[in-house]
Structure 1
Amino acid sequence: MTIATLNRLATSNRLAIRQHQQGFTLLEVMVALAILAVVAMSASQASRSYVQSVDNMKTRTFGYYVAQNTLAELRVQKTWLTASDTRQITSQGRQWQVVISPQTIQTSQGFVQPIHIRVAPIVDGSPKKDVVDIDAVLVKDMGTMP
């Protein structure tokens, strides 16, 4: 074999190798796309879960503010409840349903009224599940009772 023949064989082998290694097969591309689709779906679900969690926490925090404001109003106005009270209020840019359930207990120093306050957001005109549920106590002196 001559050198020219060997050069021709080497060149044809290099061309054959280059032609064989140009690009990906259809199967490789489809597998890569499937992997990317699974990763994209997982990322989408994770971000959706995070957004829902943040929204739930925000609703609960605002509901807690509403419950605390309701309790503060009862204490400032020195309101003494005789029956359960359901109120619909607008606070924190939302509609809320506040349910106040009282009890009255007479002690030797006066009256103590344990109250239970539940707060639920109102969505589309109807209250949803309670987001806040607190217990508190109101106190009245015997001299200020009606």
Structure 2
Amino acid sequence: MRPDSDAGFTLIEVLAALAIIAVALMAALRVTSQGISNVGELRSRLFASWVAENLLVEQRARGDWLSPGTYRGTARQGNTDFIWREEVTETSNPAFRRVNIFVFAVPQESYLLAQLTGFLARPPGIVP
């Protein structure tokens, strides 16, 4: 049996414990930074979906009857700028138009954040 004066941890045991704690803290830091990065991405995607929904709802509210083709523009939502592209196509029913809206991050149309497909009904009074 060892005398009580020798009780305690050796330097090797302390260094091993510190190494384990350091690895655990680095893993926790990495998870935290990824979570913060994901929050920014989700925020951008949420705002982009709002841009697409707003565009389609405004067209429905105004009673727009867009000609088939591609339209482009910019929008600002939540102090963030976005680029949108809208593709309008005819459907088998001449009273409806299909609208595909794509919202991208600024400055270019390479990073798609949101996509929405909807339909516009021909307003009364417009002859086919």
After TM superposition, the score normalised by the length of structure 1 is 0.74
1:18, distance to aligned residue in structure 2 (A): 3.6
In structure 2, runs of 5+ residues without a counterpart are none
Does the residue aligned with 2:9 lie in a helix, a strand or coil?
coil
Does the residue aligned with 1:86 lie in a helix, a strand or coil?
strand
Does the residue aligned with 1:126 lie in a helix, a strand or coil?
coil
Q: Equivalent residues in 2 for 1:129-144 (5 A)?
A: 129-141=111-123, 143-144=125-126
Q: Which amino acid aligns with 1:114?
A: R
- Map of 2:79 onto structure 1: 93
- Map of 1:53 onto structure 2: 38
1:103 aligns with 2:89: yes
Q: Equivalent residues in 2 for 1:62-101 (5 A)?
A: 62-82=47-67, 83-101=69-87
RMSD of aligned residue pairs (Cα, Å): 2.4
Count of residues in correspondence between the two structures = 127
Q: Which runs of 4+ in 1 moved over 4 A?
A: none
Q: Distance in 2 between matches of 1:87 and 1:106?
A: 27
- Map of 2:20 onto structure 1: 35
Larger radius of gyration between Structure 1 and Structure 2: 1
If asked which structure has higher relative contact order (CA below 8 Å, sep 6+), I would say 2
Structure with bigger helix share is 1
Q: Which amino acid aligns with 1:131?
A: L
Cα-to-partner distance string for 1:27-47 (whole Å, 9 max, x where unaligned): 111101101111101111221
Assess, with a 3 A threshold, how the Cα gap between structure 1 residues 77 and 142 changes in structure 2: closer, same or farther. Answer: closer
Cα-to-partner distance string for 1:94-143 (whole Å, 9 max, x where unaligned): 00011100012364xx5311010111222xx3345212111100011463
After TM superposition, the score normalised by the length of structure 2 is 0.83
Cα-to-partner distance string for 1:47-82 (whole Å, 9 max, x where unaligned): 122222322222221111111111112112333332
Q: Distance in 1 between matches of 2:26 and 2:14?
A: 18
Q: Distance in 1 between matches of 2:79 and 2:109?
A: 15
Q: Equivalent residues in 2 for 1:118-133 (5 A)?
A: 118-122=102-106, 125-133=107-115
In structure 1, runs of 5+ residues without a counterpart are 1-12
